[in-house]
Amino acid sequence: MRLYNNLINEIKSILSGANIVSGKNALNVSKKISVIFSSETAFELGGSQKPCVSGLAVSSDIKFSNSVHLFGDDLNKIMSDSPFGKFVFIQIEDFENEQDTFNKIKELEALRYHLNIEGFMTRASALNMREQIRVSKKAIKSGVAFGDYGTTLLNEYFKFSYVKSAEIYFVTNFNDFEKLNSVAKKINQTTSALNHIFDNVMFDCSTCNLKEICDEVDGLKELHLKNVNK
């Protein structure tokens, strides 16, 4: 799977000034929904309609450094709802069958809807690429940082046997929001195109609303054609 490679490299280049942050505290993870009420919330990353963007992209040939990167302020410096970005890049096994690869992407995407990390409550929307995260007052008081949250998240991705390496980027400095937003949109459109292709939708680029992304990302059209001819 190389469809996302250029987009991954673009995001990494925009965020090349990010710092690597390490995790000191292991956070508890549960599959049960844990609600953080407004009264218990220190702030919401991406809350109050602040700029907010997220994306998940996979590659079978980019080796990631298994690290968490932060572009902007850490949690202890944030005082109120703030802009927020989150990008997850994952190297997965090179499956021979593209449908298998797509199933794994969906499985990895779904993790953000099912995972509850103590002190954090995610509200994600696949439609508008927003992933807002409420952070509890308790977590801030105990000194939890992005490194802890990101490392906990990385460990959850590593539980999938086909995940070989990964990197997570958190963004709280939004000088380059428009650039990031534009690449994130393409990542999400690429995933939508894959959805379209593996849903056996007709191959008719002239009426398809994904034409723009398929014209830009090498391999999408070929993949659709190959699947139509199966």
Q: Give the footprint of ligand SF4 on this chain (CB under 6 A).
A: 193, 196-197, 203-205, 208, 210-211, 214, 220-221, 224
Say if residues 95 and 101 touch (Cβ distance below 8 Å).
yes
Residue closest to 45 by CA, chosen among 167, 149, 115, 175 = 149
- Among residues 79 and 205, whose Cβ is nearest to ligand SF4? 205
- Closest separation in Å from C-beta 180 to ligand SF4: 24
- Closest separation in Å from C-beta 194 to ligand SF4: 9
- Closest separation in Å from C-beta 208 to ligand SF4: 3
- Closest separation in Å from C-beta 209 to ligand SF4: 8
- Closest separation in Å from C-beta 198 to ligand SF4: 10
In the sheet that holds 67-71, the strands lie side by side as: 19-21, 67-71, 163-171, 84-92, 52-59
The span from the CA of 139 to the CA of 115, in Å, is 17
- Among residues 31 and 230, whose Cβ is nearest to ligand SF4? 230
- Among residues 112 and 196, whose Cβ is nearest to ligand SF4? 196
- Among residues 100 and 218, whose Cβ is nearest to ligand SF4? 218
- Among residues 187 and 193, whose Cβ is nearest to ligand SF4? 193
Q: What is 97-164 written as a DSSP string? A: SHHHHHHHHHHHHHHHHH-EETTEEEEEETTTTEEEEEEEHHHHHTT--HHHHHHHHHHHHTTSTTEE
- Among residues 130 and 211, whose Cβ is nearest to ligand SF4? 211
The span from the CA of 168 to the CA of 200, in Å, is 32
- Closest separation in Å from C-beta 217 to ligand SF4: 9
**What are the backbone angles phi and psi of residue 114, rounded to the nearest 5°?**
-110, -10
Distances (CA, A) of 204 to 129, 197, 224: 26, 11, 10
